[in-house]
Structure 1
């Protein structure tokens, strides 16, 4: 039986539907899962992620890994484990799950670039010598300080065979190739101010943040580092104060936090409101940012410079280190569910990740989802209420009493009317007195009309 040889399953970001097997050469035996490597793929060279190390006997038809692109980059083992769980739970390709966790510039694919060598410059200086296509490529590369990609050269020389020419030039040492990989040092100087509108902070009163307190079960779980789930059923302003205090307690334990909202406007308002209290800790993962800016934020979080990630559903797979707290606000909102592959739900990923990394989870909502209620009934989660602040208490004492009258709408429907008689009389009275009337139709869910005739 032939001896087993080490090999690696590689994710190519351009082709995430499957993983590709490559042989690990003896000079690169220190390759681990999570490393970025340079591999030949077709007639090009791509940067891929090592998803798994395996052993195989059939190596004759396999290509070999060329090099480790950046030894300082390594996707954490916890993220690799989470990707495998996602692939199994949602029946999705492992490659598409791993692709979510890469820096944005990696997801778009890192392209190989070609530069001319001193020998190539000598070749280009001898006009008319060598093949015409090779000479034209060398001439074009002489003026390109950063090199050129094969895609660019194909566009410039549409009627010529570029790939064989590049292969020959590289073989004889006239050109050399490299991969311009984004690194932490390239993005370390970028600021994290973000494009936060000052008016967004007005949505949340800062006195509520300052005076909020943590429910004792939640505070105990954070301090002891327990993986426990809490359903926080409270209004938005009360939830925000609890979130801030929970984040503060988590930072004291030298652990990171992840705060997820269903919409970018909500994440922007929360980030702007708590920024005065947590300056320098926040990384924003929402809004329309360039891939370069999102990559810089990815490295800030991965290096530990930013310990509080605030974003929308994609931030659930951010590379936060030593995760201690996960907050999913408005957990009932349907926008937490992704409708393209892999079709995951933010709440489920947050719960799975918190379980693997021993983090506390807060599911916040004034109207918890059916899933959250089921978790509390099956003892998988604990319901907590935000302690009312003095501002909420003061406001409640000044509010007038409101009379509520319940009407059986079945009798109204049988009479062929849409509105009940008491409602019509009340509207008529207000109109005659020139007073305003507001008709509020509460509707949550997806049905435009739901009527029970039983």
Structure 2
């Protein structure tokens, strides 16, 4: 039988040149090596990981080394190999490093976990008849057979002392022992978060949106959609219905959210509707074992939908039919390390290669997405009515300069204080947002106007009253407060400007002493995670 040669690109990170090498496939690995496989190959004096990208029909006339081993992970499909080649050209990144990013180290290093089961090797009716025959002379074997007839398989640890009877049943050809993979899922039990009342009825707008997008899915061609809907218009429910319909047609889905914190709510709804065995999670906070199992579930096709952050766009589902990019305008979809890809661009290319449908949802789409939807490059689907039947919230803009003229020198306007009073008297709660931590965003010397800045980041230091310190929110540099002014030597003449969460908390506590005020920011929640 002639030798088989393949082209392998090593995964050596971004600093490695974009180069491939030819290797011979040893006879013992011929059945395992295929394009997309993760293999171990000798390179110089070391062993490295690499990816098989194609078969070589005419190898070079030089000494060619053998592939040393093959990973147990399922190979990447042709669409992901083509996607990796496109990303290498688009983002000027070595092909081996792009493929390595698609199959991260936790997925490679994690190992599959198996559980041993005893299952019937004969029809249930025959096993039941044998159990009756064994009842008198071998009651333990009869109990095992009846248990297998009822349960259609039992884990070895569930058999307990009856495991001693298993060998006799196996030798008689009535029972066999098999190993089955155990899936270590993330967010076990999260479906309890979902609404038990079931999916809500769709509005006319939502029904039209689902019908229009499903028409493109059934057309089996590439189609990008912008699902542009006002807040509370039911975009998430449209996406969930689309996922259900696509899975019902035997294809797979990717559901991307911008942040890990948003995964549980989507996951709960999908697992409640589809079952936990059909939905897997993919993001960087999973354990190596969970990443390995999620990869296997996706690549084998057992998982109908993969929910995750931007890296979930590389999940190796075999029959991709739909990609949902929720809140497509979020900057979190842009990778800022290594291969600096944008998940929206990659999703568009992957859907194009797989002839799948992409749904980008947003109430405030990015300018480029909205422009392409308006010009017809993307298909625009609008949801203009709130499913709750309520109108948009009333927004009041207060000019704080007028407040100062009226004698109000506090950080809260009179209108805000009045509205807070009304809400509290009605027994309700209020949320007050401010986009700065600390007490004062910056402090300066009241004598010479010197502003204390971080020596590393060249930004003003923030005053934190709780710790009596000046702190840089970029690098963590801190100084005790107060400090003598380094410019004029004055002491205790520091003045602050602006307001942070600590100052807002102190002001609300002063205004409403009988009400509990809870501050939620990085300083109060860091120790809880």
Distance 1:282 1:372 in 2: 29
Distance 1:433 1:269 in 2: 32
Match of 2:52 in 1: 50
Which of 270, 273, 277 lines up with 1:277 in the alignment? 273
Assess, with a 3 A threshold, how the Cα gap between structure 1 residues 432 and 372 changes in structure 2: closer, same or farther. closer
Structure 1 residue 194 corresponds to structure 2 residue 189: no
Larger radius of gyration: 2
Match of 2:446 in 1: none
Q: Secondary structure at the match of 2:242?
A: helix
Distance 1:432 1:39 in 2: 70
What are structure 2's unaligned runs of at least 5 residues? 112-177, 436-440, 442-529
Assess, with a 3 A threshold, how the Cα gap between structure 1 residues 429 and 380 changes in structure 2: closer, same or farther. same
Distance 1:274 1:25 in 2: 43
Q: Secondary structure at the match of 1:356?
A: helix
Task: Tell me the matched-pair count.
Answer: 354
Match of 1:94 in 2: 95
Assess, with a 3 A threshold, how the Cα gap between structure 1 residues 294 and 340 changes in structure 2: closer, same or farther. same
Conserved 8 A contact 1:264-1:311: yes
Conserved 8 A contact 1:267-1:286: no
Q: Secondary structure at the match of 2:9?
A: strand
Task: Please list the CA deviations of residues 173-226 of structure 1 after superposition, one character each: whole Å capped at 9, or x if unmatched.
Answer: xxxxxxxxxxxxx99522354324649826x78555554644132131123223
* Greater relative contact order (Cα < 8 A, sep 6+): 1
Q: Secondary structure at the match of 1:194?
A: coil
Q: Secondary structure at the match of 1:40?
A: strand
- The TM-score with structure 2 as length reference comes to 0.57
Distance 1:6 1:198 in 2: 48
Match of 1:372 in 2: 369
Match of 1:40 in 2: 42
Give how far 1:10 is off.
1.9
Conserved 8 A contact 1:338-1:344: yes
Task: Please list the CA deviations of residues 72-115 of structure 1 after superposition, one character each: whole Å capped at 9, or x if unmatched.
Answer: 943211110000011011111111111122264565599xxxxx
Which of 263, 266, 279 lines up with 1:267 in the alignment? 263
Conserved 8 A contact 1:222-1:249: no
Assess, with a 3 A threshold, how the Cα gap between structure 1 residues 189 and 26 changes in structure 2: closer, same or farther. closer
Which of 7, 10, 13 lines up with 1:9 in the alignment? 7
Matches of residues 125-164 of structure 1 in structure 2 within 5 Å?
Answer: none
Match of 1:163 in 2: none
Structure 1 residue 244 corresponds to structure 2 residue 244: no
Which of 302, 305, 313 lines up with 1:305 in the alignment? 302
Which of 228, 234, 258 lines up with 1:233 in the alignment? 228
Q: Secondary structure at the match of 1:339?
A: coil
Match of 1:150 in 2: none
What are structure 1's unaligned runs of at least 5 residues? 111-185, 449-454
Distance 1:357 1:77 in 2: 10
Match of 1:253 in 2: 249
**RMSD of Structure 2 on Structure 1 (CA):** 4.2
> Which is further off, 223-232 or 81-90?
223-232
Match of 1:383 in 2: 380
Q: Secondary structure at the match of 2:245?
A: helix
